[in-house]
Homo-oligomer: A and B are copies of this chain.
C-alpha cells in the first residue's frame, strides 16, 4: 500500500566506502539481513539517536563510540533489535563488533565498530549465526548500496536509497544514503535506521552539527503516530576523499554540504512515510505565519498526529472543523482564530477562523482524493514556517498493528 514510493534510481558509489551484506537467517532464511559499511581511514562520523529512555544496547554503544573514537565500521542487522535485552544485549553487541573488526582486518579495532540493530524487541541476538554471516560478508567483494538497503529492511515493502551529487567549493561531492522504517512505528520493530555517506572532508564537530541540522529538515519532520522506537538512529559518514578544503564550521562549504545532506535525508524520510503502515495518502502539513518555528511545529504535529485529521485524510473528507480543532488544541495560548486560514493544496477551506467564503466542497474533496496533498495553514501572526510529512490512518494500520502477533 505504499504511496508513490519510487523504485531505486542510480545509486552512486561514495569514494572511501565499501559495503557488503550476508544472510544470518535472523528472522528469514531467504534474504540478506546483515550489512557492513566500511569507511576509509580518516573518515568522520556523526549520529542522531532516539530520545526514548528505553534505548537499545546497540544505540547506546554506537553513540558512545562515535563520541570517543574514530569509527571505521558500521555493523547493521535487521530482524532483531537487541532492545530490552539488558547487560547481555551489550555483551552480544560488543562480541559481534569484535568479530567484525577481526574479519574486516585493515587495522580496525573493536572500538571502531558501531553496531545497529532493528527488528523484534526483547530477544537475544543469534550471536553464532551472526558471527558466521559477518565472516561471509567480510570475505565478499563490495556489493553496493542497493544490497545494503535491502539487508536493513524489516517489514518495509521496498528498499529505500537515494544519491545526490553536489559541488562544494567547486569540487564534486557524492552523497548516498539508505534508510528503513515502514513508519516510525512498525509493531515491535525498533524502527528507523538511516545511514548517509559522503566523500566530503569534514571535521567531526562540524559533521555532528550537519547531522543535527539535516535531521531537523528530514527525520525529525516525519510522523506516523507520534510513537518513537528504542533503536532510531541516523548516521552521517564523511570519508574525506573529495577535493575541497576541510569543513570545520559555518560558512559556504558547510551550507553547501548541509543542503546536499538535507536533500538526501528528506527524500529518505519521505520515503519512510510513503511506505508507512497502512498508508494510502502522503500528506504534507505546511504551517506558515507563526511567531516562531517551534509554534509552527506544534501546530504541524497536532494536525499530523490527530487521529481525526488522519482518518479524514484516509476518507478524503475535507472536514475543516477537524483541522480547526487540531490547530486550536496545539497549545498556542494566545492564538487568535480570526488570524488563521487553511488551504488544501491551493483550495481555501478556512479563512479568518471561519469557513472560507469561497469554499467549494467538491474542489476540496478533489484535492483530498489525490494520493498526495498538502494541508497549508497560515497562523497569521509571524514570519516563521515549518513542514511535516505524515500518512493517513487506515483500516490497514489497525489490521497490521492489531493482528501482528495473532
B321 touches A353 (CB 8 A): no
Q: How far is the CA of A306 from the CA of B228 in the complex (A)?
A: 10
Q: Which of A101-132 contact B (CB under 8 A)?
A: 120-122
A308 within 8 A of B: yes
Q: Which of A134-187 contact B (CB under 8 A)?
A: 185, 187
B122 touches A328 (CB 8 A): no
A324 within 8 A of B: yes
- State how many angstroms separate the Cβ of A184 from the closest Cβ of chain B: 10
* Nearest residue, chain B, Cβ from A361: B405
Known contacts A86-B353, A86-B354, A121 near B321 by CB under 8 Å: yes
A227 within 8 A of B: yes
Q: How far is the CA of A117 from the CA of B51 in the complex (A)?
A: 42
Chain A interface extent, by class:
35 or more
When A and B form their complex, which 10 residue pairs have the shortest distance between CB atoms, in order from nearest? A54-B328, A121-B321, A311-B401, A315-B402, A52-B328, A53-B328, A225-B307, A53-B335, A311-B402, A54-B324
* Nearest residue, chain B, Cβ from A359: B122
Q: Which residues of B contact A85 (CB under 8 A)?
A: 354
Q: Which residues of B contact A404 (CB under 8 A)?
A: 315, 317, 319
B188 touches A322 (CB 8 A): yes
- State how many angstroms separate the Cβ of A215 from the closest Cβ of chain B: 17
Q: Which residues of B contact A190 (CB under 8 A)?
A: 321
Q: List 20 additional A-B contacts (Cβ < 8 Å) besides A121-B324, A187-B308.
A: A52-B329, A53-B333, A53-B337, A54-B325, A83-B321, A121-B321, A185-B308, A187-B319, A188-B321, A227-B329, A307-B397, A307-B401, A308-B401, A311-B397, A312-B401, A315-B403, A319-B404, A394-B398, A395-B398, A398-B398
